[in-house]
Structures are given as structure tokens and as C-alpha cells.
Amino acid sequence: MPRLTGPADTNQGVHGAVQPRFGEVRIRQRGRLPHWDKEAGLYFVTFRLADSIPRGVVQKIVERHRILEAAKRAGANLSPEQKVLIAQYSPGKIEECVDRGIGACWLRDPRIGRLVSDALNFWHGERYRLIAWCVMPNHVHVIFRLLPGNELADIVQNWKSFTASEANRILRRSGAFWQREYYDRLIRENGELDRAIQYVLSNPQRAGLRNWKWVWCAGGDARATAGRDAGATR
């Protein structure tokens, strides 16, 4: 049976990356997306079910990244057509698409919602400190601070691998449960943190979900100190 692993169990180092000094930021390329790593960083992470974005939209996202990378390498300005394509498949537009409830929406099942929320809380206070989270029908938002000695990639992989295996068992299905990639944003200041928390807490309402159970935020004291690096100690 799968289990949530602790620090001693996560030995999948980040290949090709140099261990940063405390407070440094490193950019790690994984799959198609770059990820920003920082010791004891404060993060806003989103991961989604495998069928939550239509294949055509995924292809457009890939094309958007290809255009941006090609333009950067060439030092060229984007054409009007390219700017339109990028605007149509911006993160905000993708969120609107996901919030429409595309796909099987397995997280709407109370058993799966509970499974994911329990997994998020499992290492709270030991490997990370949760600030806010929301388990939507087809995606998950989490705001949290890593505690020293822990890696962002390990934490997210731990959540996803454990819940995918258990959810497939509960649902009596097989195959991909989560999308391979996840989206992370390194939060730099308290104003940005406040906006991120508000976004997470209001997500059910924006999606038209009433009395949604799977949403949580830390108390005022925890939120007030969340942006301070000195507070991220075990």
C-alpha cells in the first residue's frame, strides 16, 4: 500500500542543480515548465487532474511556450498573431477553463476530497507549514512555506503519488490521475501573499460551488508571520 513518505524517504535529488545557500533562488527545468526553488520558500502551487484541460488547450499551451522560447532566443518581438495566441492561453484563461468543471472531476467525490485534504495536512508543521488550500473538483491550490531541509519537488510529488494511487484504488480505475506538471509561484511579499490567499479562498465561489467543504486557511497569527523567513523553523 502506498504511503506518505518522510524526509528520509525522498532521495530523488534535483539533477543538474546546485544546492543553494539559504535565501538563494535557483531555477530548475522540469518537463515543459521552469520551477523556482528557494530554501524555506513560500509557495503558491496548483496541480490538476489529468483530464482537467482539453487536449487542444494543452497543445496551445505548448505552442505558446514554443513561441516565447523562440522569440527569446532570437531576441525578436512577437507578432500581433503571436500576442493574441499567448493572451488566449494565459494562466488566467486556463484557470477559467479549468473552473468550468472539465473532465471527470473525481475530487468532487467526498472520499477523494477527504483523501487529498488529509494528504495536504499530513506533514503540516513537520516538512512545511500550510497557509491556505482548496481542493476543487478537478484541481488543487496550496499556499505553504517549506521548512528547512525540504524540497518543493519532493513535497508535491509525495502528495500526487500517494493520492493518485489511493484514489485509483477507491475509484476502481487505473491510469493517470494527475497531470504530470504542476504550477508553482514563489511568493515574495505580504501583499502578494494576501492576494494569493484571497484567490484560493474565493475559488469555489467563482466556480459556482455552494457550501464547498474542501477549503481552508490558517488563523490570523499564522498568516501574519507566513511571509517572514525567520518564522520557517522547526
Same domain, 90 and 112: no
Q: Is residue 212 part of a domain?
A: yes
Q: Angle, nearest 10°, between helix axes 80-88 and 55-74?
A: 140
Same domain, 217 and 164: yes
Same domain, 189 and 145: yes
Q: Is residue 183 part of a domain?
A: yes
Same domain, 78 and 46: no
50-82 pLDDT, tens digit each: 988 766 665 666 566 667 667 766 777 777 766
Q: Which domain holds residue 117?
A: 27-52+105-227
Q: Is residue 68 part of a domain?
A: yes
Q: Is residue 7 part of a domain?
A: no
Same domain, 128 and 38: yes
Which of these three, 36, 66, 98, is where a domain ends?
98
122 HSE (CA, 13 A, CB side): 18
Q: Is residue 199 part of a domain?
A: yes
What grid cell was written down for 84? 493574441
6-43 pLDDT, tens digit each: 654 433 322 222 333 334 444 444 444 444 466 679 99
What does the pLDDT read at residue 32? 45
Same domain, 80 and 132: no
Please tell me the total count of domains within the chain.
2
Same domain, 210 and 109: yes
176 torsion bin: left (phi>0), alpha (psi -120 to 50), beta (else): beta
Q: Is 8 exposed, middle or buried (0-12, 13-18, 19+ CB in 10 A)?
A: exposed
Which of these three, 65, 80, 98, is where a domain ends?
98
Q: Is 127 exposed, middle or buried (0-12, 13-18, 19+ CB in 10 A)?
A: buried
Cell 520551477, residue located: 35
The predicted model scores a pTM of 0.71
Strand duo 128-135 + 25-30: pairing? unpaired
Q: In angstroms, rounded to a whole number, what is the distance separating the alpha carbons of residues 33 and 59?
A: 14
Same domain, 159 and 90: no
| Whether 151 contacts 194, CB under 8 Å | no
| 135 CA to centre of own chain | 11
What does DSSP assign to residue 230? G
Same domain, 145 and 65: no
CATH of the domain at 162: 3.30.70.1290
What does the pLDDT read at residue 227? 57
Same domain, 196 and 152: yes
Q: Is residue 160 part of a domain?
A: yes
| Whether 45 contacts 144, CB under 8 Å | yes
Q: Is 149 exposed, middle or buried (0-12, 13-18, 19+ CB in 10 A)?
A: exposed
Mean pLDDT of 201-229: 82
156-202 pLDDT, tens digit each: 999 999 999 999 999 999 999 999 889 898 998 889 999 999 999 99
Q: Is residue 221 part of a domain?
A: yes
Q: Predicted confidence band at 152 (pLDDT cuts at 50, 70, 90)?
A: very high
What does the pLDDT read at residue 234? 31
Same domain, 184 and 75: no
Q: Is residue 14 part of a domain?
A: no
What does the pLDDT read at residue 4? 77
What does the pLDDT read at residue 135? 97
Same domain, 195 and 94: no
